[in-house]
Structure 1
Amino acid sequence: MGRNTRKRRMPLAAKAVAASAALALGGGGLVWANFYASAHESDPSQNRTKSTAAQVATIDCPDVGQQLSNVPGRARGEVDGELASMDQQITDAYLRLITTRQAQAGDAQYVQNAILGPLKDRRKVLLDRIKLEINRAGGQAPGNLDGLASCSGRPADQPQPNDGQNGDGQSGDGQDQGDGQDPNDNGNGAAGPFADDFVDINDVQPNSRNLPNGLAANGRSGSRGTFTTKCGVNENNLFNSDNVIVAPGVGNGAHHMHDYVGNQSNTAFAGDDDLGNADTSCQNQGDKSSYFWPVLRVQDGTQEFDANDQGGGAEGNVGKILKASQAELRFVGNKRSKVVAMPKFLRIITGDAKAFTNGLTNANTSYSCTGFEDRQATDKYVLCPEGSQVVRTSNFQSCWDGQNIDSANHRAHVAFAGADGNCPNGFKAIPQLQVRLVYDVPTPTIENGQVKNPYAVDSFPEQLHKPITDHNDFINVMDESLMNKVVKCLNQGKNCT
Structure 2
Amino acid sequence: MGRNTRRRRTPLATKVVAGAAALAVGGGGLLWADFSASAHEENPAHNRTRSATAQVATIDCPDVGQQISDVPDRARGEVDGELAALDSQITDAYKRLATTRRAQAGDARYVQNAILGPLKDRRKALIDRIQLEIDRAGGQADESLDELARCQGRPTDPPQDGDGQDDGDGQNQDDGQNQDGGQNQDDNGNGVAGPVAGDFIDIDDVEPRSRNSQNGLAANGDGGSTGTFTSDCGVNENDVFNSDNLIAAPGVDNGAHHVHDYVGNQDNDAFSSDEDLANADTSCQNQGDRSTYYWPVLRLQDGTEEFDANDLGGGAEGNIGRILQPAQAELKFVGNQRSDVVAMPRFLRVITGDAKSFTNGDANANSSWSCTGFEDRQVTDKYPLCPEGSQVVRTANFQSCWDGQNTDSANHRDHMAFVQQDGSCANGFQAVPQLQVRLVYDIPTPTVENGVVQDPYAVDSFPEQLHKPITDHNDFINVMGEALMNEVVDCINSGEDCQ
Q: Is contact 1:12–1:95 with CA below 8 Å preserved after alignment?
A: no
SS at match of 1:293: strand
SS at match of 2:56: strand
Q: Is contact 1:227–1:496 with CA below 8 Å preserved after alignment?
A: yes
1:78 maps onto 2:61 in alignment: no
Q: Is contact 1:324–1:440 with CA below 8 Å preserved after alignment?
A: yes
Q: Is contact 2:447–2:454 with CA below 8 Å preserved after alignment?
A: yes
Tell me the equivalent position of 1:421: 423
Tell me the equivalent position of 2:188: 180
Tell me the equivalent position of 1:11: 22
Deviation at 1:214, TM superposition (A): 3.5
Q: 1:426 to 1:159 in 2, by over 3 A?
A: farther
Distance 1:155 1:371 in 2: 35
CA deviation map 1:436-456 (0-9, x unaligned): 000000111211011121000
Deviation at 1:181, TM superposition (A): 3.4
Tell me the equivalent position of 2:435: 433
Q: Is contact 2:50–2:453 with CA below 8 Å preserved after alignment?
A: no
Q: Is contact 2:350–2:475 with CA below 8 Å preserved after alignment?
A: yes
SS at match of 1:260: strand
Deviation at 1:159, TM superposition (A): 6.7
Distance 1:159 1:465 in 2: 19
Distance 2:338 2:185 in 1: 58
Distance 1:229 1:18 in 2: 42
Tell me the equivalent position of 1:39: none
| Unaligned stretches of 5+ residues in structure 2 | 9-14, 26-30, 39-44, 162-177
Q: Is contact 1:171–1:449 with CA below 8 Å preserved after alignment?
A: no
Q: Is contact 1:354–1:463 with CA below 8 Å preserved after alignment?
A: yes
Tell me the equivalent position of 1:164: none
Q: Is contact 1:172–1:450 with CA below 8 Å preserved after alignment?
A: no
Q: 1:4 to 1:277 in 2, by over 3 A?
A: closer
1:337-356 aligned at under 5 Å gives the runs 337-356=339-358
Q: 1:174 to 1:293 in 2, by over 3 A?
A: closer
Structure 1 vs Structure 2: percent identity of aligned residues? 73
CA deviation map 1:132-160 (0-9, x unaligned): 00001010111211000000001233179
Deviation at 1:280, TM superposition (A): 0.2
Q: 1:228 to 1:175 in 2, by over 3 A?
A: closer
Tell me the equivalent position of 1:249: 251
What letter is aligned with 1:13? A
1:270 maps onto 2:286 in alignment: no
Deviation at 1:216, TM superposition (A): 1.5
Q: Is contact 2:491–2:498 with CA below 8 Å preserved after alignment?
A: yes
Tell me the equivalent position of 1:141: 141
Q: 1:295 to 1:278 in 2, by over 3 A?
A: same
1:261 maps onto 2:251 in alignment: no
Distance 2:184 2:427 in 1: 55
Q: Is contact 1:395–1:434 with CA below 8 Å preserved after alignment?
A: yes
Equivalent pairs, count: 457
Tell me the equivalent position of 2:198: 196
CA deviation map 1:38-63 (0-9, x unaligned): xxxxxxxxxxx4xx6xx210000000
What letter is aligned with 2:22? P
SS at match of 1:382: strand
Q: Is contact 1:327–1:437 with CA below 8 Å preserved after alignment?
A: yes
SS at match of 1:261: strand
What letter is aligned with 1:200? D
What letter is aligned with 2:381? D
What letter is aligned with 2:453? V
1:106 maps onto 2:74 in alignment: no
Distance 2:421 2:227 in 1: 19
Tell me the equivalent position of 2:169: none
SS at match of 2:32: helix
CA deviation map 1:295-322 (0-9, x unaligned): 0000110000000001000000000000
SS at match of 1:403: coil
Q: Is contact 1:351–1:364 with CA below 8 Å preserved after alignment?
A: yes
| Unaligned stretches of 5+ residues in structure 1 | 32-48, 162-168, 183-188
Q: Is contact 2:330–2:437 with CA below 8 Å preserved after alignment?
A: yes
Tell me the equivalent position of 1:448: 450
Q: Is contact 1:352–1:470 with CA below 8 Å preserved after alignment?
A: yes
CA deviation map 1:247-304 (0-9, x unaligned): 0000100000000000000100001000000000000000000000000000110000
CA deviation map 1:455-496 (0-9, x unaligned): 000000000000000000000000000000000000000000
Q: Is contact 1:170–1:196 with CA below 8 Å preserved after alignment?
A: no
Tell me the equivalent position of 2:165: none
What letter is aligned with 1:284? N
Q: 1:338 to 1:252 in 2, by over 3 A?
A: same
Q: Is contact 2:2–2:239 with CA below 8 Å preserved after alignment?
A: yes
Q: 1:30 to 1:71 in 2, by over 3 A?
A: farther
Q: Is contact 1:84–1:250 with CA below 8 Å preserved after alignment?
A: yes
Q: Is contact 1:389–1:438 with CA below 8 Å preserved after alignment?
A: yes
Deviation at 1:365, TM superposition (A): 1.1
Distance 2:313 2:377 in 1: 32
Q: Is contact 2:256–2:462 with CA below 8 Å preserved after alignment?
A: yes
1:459-474 aligned at under 5 Å gives the runs 459-474=461-476
Distance 1:60 1:173 in 2: 16
SS at match of 1:436: strand
Q: Is contact 2:211–2:378 with CA below 8 Å preserved after alignment?
A: yes
Distance 2:134 2:194 in 1: 38
Q: 1:174 to 1:490 in 2, by over 3 A?
A: closer
Q: Is contact 1:262–1:288 with CA below 8 Å preserved after alignment?
A: yes
Distance 2:183 2:419 in 1: 45
Q: Is contact 2:354–2:366 with CA below 8 Å preserved after alignment?
A: yes
- CA RMSD in angstroms, aligned pairs only: 2.4
Deviation at 1:29, TM superposition (A): 4.3
1:363-374 aligned at under 5 Å gives the runs 363-374=365-376
Tell me the equivalent position of 2:496: 494
1:3-42 aligned at under 5 Å gives the runs 3-4=3-4, 9=18, 10-13=21-24, 16-17=32-33, 29=50
Deviation at 1:218, TM superposition (A): 1.7
1:97-246 aligned at under 5 Å gives the runs 97-158=97-158, 172=181, 180-182=188-190, 189-246=191-248
Tell me the equivalent position of 1:45: none
SS at match of 1:329: strand
Tell me the equivalent position of 2:390: 388
